[in-house]
Chain A
Amino acid sequence: MDGIHDLGGVQGFGRIQHIANSLSYKPVFHEDWEHLGYSLLFLGAAELGLFNVDELRHAIERLEPRQYLASSYYDRIVVGTASLFVEKGAITQRRLEELAGGAYPLALPLGPGRAANPPQAPFNVGDPVKVRDEFVCGHTRMPAYVRGKHGIVVHRTTHEWPFPDTVGHGLPCACEPTYHVQFTTQELWGDAADAGTVVVDLFGGYLLKA
């Protein structure tokens, strides 16, 4: 979906609040509730098998955009995870609100996913490819900034995963490799970018032979 989460290349953000090597790695969590985000996510995804990590990503993408932008990272994980537990019927939003003592806004409703569309023949390293010029309403892991753009395959993974646009909607599908596709920033943004290259990890269903 063309959501607020799809931030690559979006302009208007300022300086990153960090100077290299200025921080200690610890403490890992800064507030006493932050560990609950990943812990309860993995409880639902790995321990209970109620949902998968792509569904969690999509639940976060389904947050109302102003809520997305105003929430901290771990808050988004908590809300995405809570949304899935409610959608799967494990708990209710009403009970969450009672326990939290206030409103508990969750992700907006899930729409339909789409079927996987792997290439008939796998791409090879060195192949020129074009990212499909298509618009997807549900979950996808094709960042908008590569839509319709030309690049070169620099790696095909030896491991395989289910297609995010399908599995992110809780639907079963077969596993397939992904492709590391290299683009020039000139191809992506013309002269309105620093010179350089960007490599994006893309499923074959997002690609066409160029």
Chain B
Amino acid sequence: MSNESIKAVASASDRAFALSKALQEQALIPEGYVEKFTEIMENDFDPANGARVVARAWVDPAYRELLLRDGTAACDQFGYTGAQGEYIVALQNTPTLQNVIVCTLCSCTAWPVLGLPPDWYKSFEYRSRVVRESRTVLREMGLDLPNEVEIRVWDTSAETRYMVLPLRPSGTEGWTEAQLASIVTKDVLIGIARPEVPTTGTPPQ
């Protein structure tokens, strides 16, 4: 065995920075490229975007119709397009249907409307189990649905990117779009949770 093959594997951090450095040495990274892309990932891709889309669909029937017919065009009205958002399909929940999103093969997500995928969504546990044990997995994560509610899991196995359009909860009559958007979390947009009205019954400020 040569010395090469018994060298300890460098840490993930050291390997990531080494890749960056090796590309810099070849002058392959335009100045500011990584900083700009990181800024987009951290700030522009945000589940608050998807929440605004849902809130608009709850108050505007024409927009809702557009969202369900052409999700990409509806999201584009807010400017929510770009990488991993070129073909967006909104999945409508009903009193007897709960839609849930996964990517079993990697971890594809609609970045511009949902933000980058959270750690749990990328876990081997979620990727392996939610397609086969959807009701059990949702219950473990805190959403215990009655048996008459069908759970439909959407595997993001090609380039369609999904978002869930949840049911508007009762007790939100008269709320503004911003107030409505505030109860639509990333987990609601993925489908493992439903929007919750604060127990006080008053809209969030």
Contact B124 A69 (CB under 8 A): yes
A109 within 8 A of B: no
Contacts of A129 in B (CB 8 A): none
Q: Interface residues of B, CB < 8 Å — how many? A: 84
A74 to B118, CA, bound (A): 12
Interface flags, A1-29, vs B, CB<8A=1, else 0: 00001111111111111111101011111
From A31, which residue of chain B is reached at the shortest CB distance? Answer: B13
From B21, which residue of chain A is reached at the shortest CB distance? Answer: A99
Contact A194 B18 (CB under 8 A): no
List A188-202 residues whose CB lies under 8 Å from chain B: 188-189, 192-202
Contact B128 A7 (CB under 8 A): yes
Contacts of B141 in A (CB 8 A): 16, 18-20
List B10-58 residues whose CB lies under 8 Å from chain A: 10-23, 25-26, 28-30, 33-34, 37-38, 41-42, 46-47
Total contacts A-B at CB 8 Å: 270
B178 within 8 A of A: no
Contact B42 A28 (CB under 8 A): yes
Contacts of A201 in B (CB 8 A): 154-160
Interface flags, A64-94, vs B, CB<8A=1, else 0: 0000010111110011011001000011100
Which residues in B have some Cβ–Cβ distance to A below 8 Å?
4, 7-23, 25-26, 28-30, 33-34, 37-38, 41-42, 46-47, 70, 72, 83, 86-87, 89, 102, 104-107, 115-116, 118-120, 122-129, 131-137, 140-143, 150-160, 185-188, 192-193, 196
Give 9 A-B contacts (CB < 8 Å), ordered by A residue.
A20-B187, A29-B41, A100-B10, A103-B10, A143-B105, A145-B132, A161-B158, A199-B153, A201-B157
